[in-house]
Structure 1
Amino acid sequence: MCNSERSIFATDPKTHLSWFRPGSLEPLYRYELFGILFGLAAFNGITLPVSFPLAFYTKLMGLPISPSLLDLDWPDVSKGFRQLLDYDGDVETDWAMDHNFVIETNGLYLSLDMMHYEWTDEFEAKAVVHDVRHDKSLITKPDATQFSWPAPVTKENRLAYTHRYTEWMLDYSIRPQFYAFAKGFYRVVDLRATRLLSPANFKRLVEGHSNVTAAQLQQHVTYEGGYSSDSPHIQWFWEILQQYSEEKLRKLLEFVTASKRVPASGSAGLRFVIIALDDENGALPCSATCFGHLNLPRYESKEIMTEKLDIALEHSIGFGQA
């Protein structure tokens, strides 16, 4: 969904956050379908392995957008805006910017004059329910000529430019894709339910917490098959995990639960069960992610357990395949 060239979302290599692809040629039903799946996961409290900016959840709740949403999730754009607004020299000459909005899509760079077009409510997006904003059609302004040059950015209009650019970046350029997604999402989730949360809490509910510690996992894990918290093999297991980096702990969590994140309710919301296996030392640990089960053989030594866990995590072996 987010990583390939034909994915419906683009992922920023710096922030690792995903956003809609402007001008995507992917059919809108794919966005609607993903919205349905997204809504089902949110409705059932399933943590998703996605990373969306706060603006994504703000828009999905039907709340207004502003340049302040760029500060955390698009730091380079936000920094450029601050430098532009604080500049004391001749903005028009020194910055040499105009009101173009550039879209990179399908191997092409398209420049759209943000002052050349306007949005009209002539066509209503019947698919979008509740009070999510109505769809608008992009039309040429009546007073715009076919070959007019984009208006330059000046000291007088630079603040308006930052607001207009934000609107194009977070709304106009991805509006068809967003409305298709919202249509699917609100087939499952009532908008009024999301309004009980802040955008930050909505994000946390869907994506969970990225911070993982061995102590968190140990506090809420359960044991089956003859293991207990006092078993030597379990004590080895937690000693090994104490040496893991946070990234490796997230990999273990994904190995067992199919998600690198802790649910919004905290580690208490995890189902993490360690089950004893009487296999020989040659067997690797394996998992059943649907149930949060880690099948851990009774190895002869801590060193063997360390080696086997490393192999299993490196190759992401799960679902009983080890």
Structure 2
Amino acid sequence: MHTAMKNATQQAFMALLFGPSSFQPVNHYLVLNVTRENIVADTVRELLMVNSKDLKKPLRVKIFGEEAEDAGGVTKEFFMLLLREILDPKYGMFKEYEETRAIWFSEHTFEDEVHYFLIGTVCGLAIYNFTIIDIPFPLALYKKLLKEPVLLSDLKGLSPSLTNSLQSLLDYTEPDVEEVFSLTFEVTRDEFGEIKSIPLKPNGENIPVTSENRQEYVNLYVDYVFNTSVSKHFDAFREGFMKVCGGRVLELFHSHELMAVVVGNENYDWHALEEAAEYKNGYKSSDQTIRWFWEVLHDLPLADKKKFLLFLTGSDRIPIQGMKAIKVGVYLYF
């Protein structure tokens, strides 16, 4: 169990035994009560009422009208359903980049900042509950969370073609930059069907990009995409994330490690999965039926193995601890 989660559970137990309100029930878990029909609104309501300390307890989700006891599976489904709904393009909260299928904060949306706060909190809860979530943010998000500098190279995580265009501007060796590229210090954006020009600095629409100032232009462009244009949305997201994950422990991570904790990785080791399997109800690893099961799995093409992993865990990626952290209860299948 994660140290902070363990501490929160222990504190709840001690409060139950010795606290001034020892006759009142104390829940060892963070319990969210939601409905499938209004999962976003329900989650917002529940999280806004939660004390920050309770966010570090193990998560249990109760879906109204369903009797399933949450042993992990309901929580995984909760994350999947919630993110699928809140990331739906109909809300316009995020922009998906066609080249990479990565998402980034929309510059303009009608949604309240509380929804960005919610998604940040959900990402934090996923970390504390060892749940991989399918949220296709680029590495730049995790760099910003850890206050690492975001560079032109990070733009590749959204749009390689835009990155290459800006790099070609920097690499151009002839003196006629102004004539060839015909750029000024502004960007154009489609804002609800209306094309608008946004200066990257005061009077930018009247300042041409030249050999002397092109580095400044690229720096301001990258800063606009990742910072100034989405500052309110990102700040709300970060506030929600830090409400769960704030503290010194976060300083131990590099951005790529934090990203792997949230969305998993693809360092598959199928034999490690086999070695970590648990056998009950009389089964042993040497049983012929068990041997057939693993032989079939190992012979499957990677695409089908990933489908099996998706069925087993709710994600086709693996946790940062590796496949040994995935416990297969083989007895469930026979």
State the TM-score, normalizing by the size of structure 2: 0.68
Which of the numbers 102, 112, 117 marks the counterpart of 1:17?
102
Partner residue of 2:220? 164
Partner residue of 1:98? 184
8 A Cα contact 1:24 1:106, kept in partner: no
- Offset, 1:236: 2.2
Distance 1:49 1:114, change over 3 A: same
Which of the numbers 85, 110, 131 marks the counterpart of 1:46?
131
Distance 1:108 1:2, change over 3 A: farther
- CA-based RMSD of the aligned residues comes to 2.2
- Offset, 1:202: 1.2
Q: Distance in 2 between matches of 1:268 and 1:213?
A: 8
Q: Distance in 2 between matches of 1:217 and 1:209?
A: 15
8 A Cα contact 1:23 1:103, kept in partner: no
- Offset, 1:7: 5.0
Q: Distance in 2 between matches of 1:211 and 1:261?
A: 8
- Offset, 1:266: 0.7
Distance 1:213 1:249, change over 3 A: farther
Q: Distance in 2 between matches of 1:16 and 1:149?
A: 31
Q: Distance in 2 between matches of 1:153 and 1:243?
A: 57
Moved over 6 A (4+): none
Mapping of residues 1-322 of structure 1, within 5 Å: 1-6=86-91, 8-71=93-156, 74-89=159-174, 90-116=176-202, 144=203, 149-275=205-331, 295-297=332-334
Q: Distance in 1 between matches of 2:186 and 2:301?
A: 45
Q: Distance in 2 between matches of 1:228 and 1:107?
A: 63
Unpaired runs of 5+ residues, structure 1, are 117-143, 276-294, 298-322
Q: How many residues align?
A: 248
Stretch of structure 1 that moved more, 68-77 or 261-270: 68-77
8 A Cα contact 2:260 2:320, kept in partner: yes
Distance 1:104 1:270, change over 3 A: farther
- Return the structure number with greater helix share: 2
Q: Which SS does the other structure have where 1:265 is aligned?
A: coil
Unpaired runs of 5+ residues, structure 2, are 1-85
Distance 1:165 1:182, change over 3 A: same
- Offset, 1:190: 1.6
Q: Which SS does the other structure have where 1:184 is aligned?
A: helix
Q: Which SS does the other structure have where 2:116 is aligned?
A: helix
Percent identity of equivalent pairs: 29
- Offset, 1:157: 1.1
Distance 1:11 1:244, change over 3 A: farther
8 A Cα contact 2:186 2:205, kept in partner: no
